[in-house]
Chains A and B, each alone.
Chain A
Amino acid sequence: MDFFIQLLSDPIGFWNSHTLLISQIGINGVVATSMFLVLYSGQLSLAAPGFMAIGAYTSVLMELHWHTPVVLNVAVAVILAGIVGLLVGLPVLRLRGVFLAIATIGFIEALHLGVILNVPITGEGLGLQHEADPLGGVPIILVSLVAVVFVVWRLTKGRLGSAWSAIRQDEIAALSQGIHVARYKMIAFIASALIASYAGALEAHLNFFVDPGDSQYGVTRAVQVLTFAVLGGSGFVIGPVVGALIVTLLPYIFEGAGDYINIIAGIFLIAVIIFRPQGIVGRGGLAIVRPAWWPRSRVSAPSPG
């Protein structure tokens, strides 16, 4: 509770004492937006942590070995992720639904276990350490978040967005209307890869350390990012950002739970998704579930015939 009291009573002190938390929320928001893009175009892709790893390792390795300026490092990292996104997307985007999800899990795990933990240049299990933070901390992250959300919001309002929406609702109908389904899906997939890799590069610079753990670039992270998007609501661009905010803050919201925080967090997750399957940000009210023993309300409908 102290956390929220400080937020309201002493915002400046709050900002100064929680910079790491605020930037983590910002980065999670950017990743969640990348997840939003693929979900909005009807693709259940969990590849984001893989592209984050590409962004993080490329930018940090360039800095460590070639001492190039940080802007160039991040740009190269993002472009590289786009190329990898194209190469992965070509075979994988023929799959749909759960199959796409599992294929992308295969991709991130093969990258994580096969490449990152096995190639000496990535520091293997030890990760990479690097010196100062060339970005200057929180402001750049929040500015990035706003910029990314704005660009994605504009995209969903335009021609691309209409095509993605049509594909999400009914792929065959979209195809019959002359929408080039494969092309638009690929655009969404690559755009999401670019954003995820940007977030990965930011995160690596924020933490002074590239951590090769499963909670960073493995399935655990993928599931977490999916939770941001679904919990927040994937119908509006702001939904996943709200989801990221709430999930990242859960340990503070349920501060009183102490050691049992994960139990409370899990129950909270189930409760939100049962009462609002469309997510926190979305149309409609609470879904009140009628238990089996509750009497059915009588509906007076004209009998047919």
Chain B
Amino acid sequence: MDQQILNAIFIGSIYALFAVGYTLVFGILDILNLAHSAVFMLGAALTYSLVVTHGQPFWIGAVLGVAASALIGLVIEHVCLRPLRRRQAPPIAALISTIGLALVIVAAVEQGKSGSLFSWLWVDGANSVAFPPGTVPNPTWHIGDLTLEASKVLIIPISIALMLILGYVMRFTQVGRGLRAVAENPRAARLMGLDVDRMISLTLVISSALGGLAGILFGLALGDISPYIGRDNVEVRGLAVIVLGGMGSIPGAVIGGYLLGLIEILALVTFGSNARGGVAFAALFLMLVLRPQGLFGTRLRERI
């Protein structure tokens, strides 16, 4: 049981890191970026290819993986969001265009086999792979009944540090003030001399970099990298996390991530592995019905 709670904290950290990016975009644009889970997958897949196929050290792979994710953030903004914003299209259109981009990214990785157009990106097709042991030093400790692996334990301080930095930037710096102003009222922000388009690009870059990093950590700790890890593990769970914490709230996404990790592990222990997903979604449903603004949300914004 203790081990299970520890696992809940590991997986919760990854959920939180993923959901922070999700909620950042929703908080500022009121748009659900459904390509976020594809970016999560791409970060992990690209790092794996750099390390295993191209023989780079892990830290170079990770840095390039995060950089590529950030770049995809720019693609999301320039291809999927900005043209629609110019046209003042309904937000539901942005939902579809980001789904389209997610489809492209997943299909590109899925078709990455030796000899195909995307063999530089990925060579294992639809298979699931893991980093070879020894990619990162991974000492293991035993304390009582608990098994602590460094690769899993390190996720916790990394996630918490990143989320604290993000919280600090949002609250206390000039850039953060700009972002919050755009979230509050883009028109007024523009009148105050802010470059709204640039702020939104920045949001997508930060969000996607965090998403890609969450994917890399996921691949490292759980030893499961495939074109479908985004769709199967975090796409809908990310929604559950940001709803539990309150849409658009960064501390909410953090608490929501750990809460979902805990709920899932409790369901796993109590009802067995089949019930895991179902219980999480029942919790999500109840939360929306009983307290739609989430744990930390203060108001509901309705635009779609």
Contact = CB atoms under 8 A, between A and B. Distances in A.
Query: Interface residue tally of chain B, by bracket?
Result: 35 or more
A95 B302 CA distance: 9
A101 to B, nearest CB: 8
Contacts of B274: 113, 117-118
A13 interface: no
Given A267-B100, A269-B103, A270-B79, A289 B87 contact: yes
Q: Which of A94, A95, A277 has the most CB of B within 10 A?
A: A277
A230 B87 CA distance: 16
A148 interface: no
A114 B102 CA distance: 27
**Is chain A's interface secondary structure helix, strand, loop, or mixed overall?**
helix
Interface string B163-207: 000000000000000000000000000000000000000000000
Interface string A108-122: 011011110110000
Nearest to A124: B274
B103 A266 contact: yes
Query: Interface residue tally of chain A, by bracket?
Result: 35 or more
Contact of A259 (B97, B102, B111): B111
A263 interface: yes
Nearest to A219: B236
Contacts of B103: 262-263, 265-266, 269
A114 B277 contact: yes
A226 interface: yes
Given A109-B278, A263-B111, A102 B239 contact: yes
A96 B80 CA distance: 24
Given A266-B104, A273-B93, A92 B289 contact: yes
Contact of A106 (B34, B95, B284, B300): B284
B96 A231 contact: yes
Contact of B236 (A97, A109, A117): A109
B100 A118 contact: no
A266 B101 contact: yes
A198 B228 CA distance: 31
B304 A115 contact: no
B96 to A, nearest CB: 5
A231 B96 CA distance: 8
A275 to B, nearest CB: 8
Contacts, number: 153
B32 A110 contact: no
A264 to B, nearest CB: 9
A263 B277 CA distance: 29
B97 A99 contact: no
A38 interface: no
Contact of B104 (A103, A105, A267): A267
Contacts of A105: 236, 239, 281, 284
A270 B100 contact: yes
B289 A98 contact: no
A173 B101 CA distance: 36
Contacts of A269: 96-97, 99-100, 103
A45 to B, nearest CB: 12
B108 interface: yes
B134 to A, nearest CB: 34
Q: Which of B30, B106, B108, B285 has the most CB of A within 10 A?
A: B285
B302 to A, nearest CB: 4
A99 B242 CA distance: 11
Interface in B95-150: 95-97, 99-104, 106-108, 110-111, 116-117
Nearest to A112: B278
A263 B90 contact: no
A223 interface: yes
A95 B288 contact: yes
A293 interface: no
A91 interface: yes
Contacts of B77: none
B278 A115 contact: yes
A76 B304 CA distance: 34
A262 B107 contact: yes
A208 interface: no
A46 to B, nearest CB: 10
B96 A107 contact: no
Contact of A99 (B83, B106, B292): B292
A113 B277 contact: yes
A261 B282 CA distance: 36
A273 B96 contact: yes
Contacts of A262: 103-104, 106-107, 110-111
A287 B87 contact: yes
25 contacts: A94-B292, A95-B292, A96-B302, A96-B304, A97-B91, A97-B302, A97-B304, A103-B285, A106-B240, A107-B281, A109-B236, A109-B281, A113-B278, A114-B282, A117-B278, A260-B117, A262-B103, A263-B107, A266-B100, A266-B101, A269-B100, A270-B80, A270-B101, A277-B93, A287-B89
Interface of A: 44, 91-92, 94-99, 101-103, 105-107, 109-110, 112-115, 117-118, 219-220, 223, 226-227, 230-231, 259-263, 265-270, 273-274, 277-278, 287, 289-290
Given A99-B292, A103-B285, 8 more contacts: A98-B91, A105-B239, A110-B282, A118-B275, A223-B99, A227-B99, A274-B84, A287-B87
Q: Which 4 A-B pairs have the closest CB atoms?
A: A114-B278, A262-B107, A277-B89, A269-B100
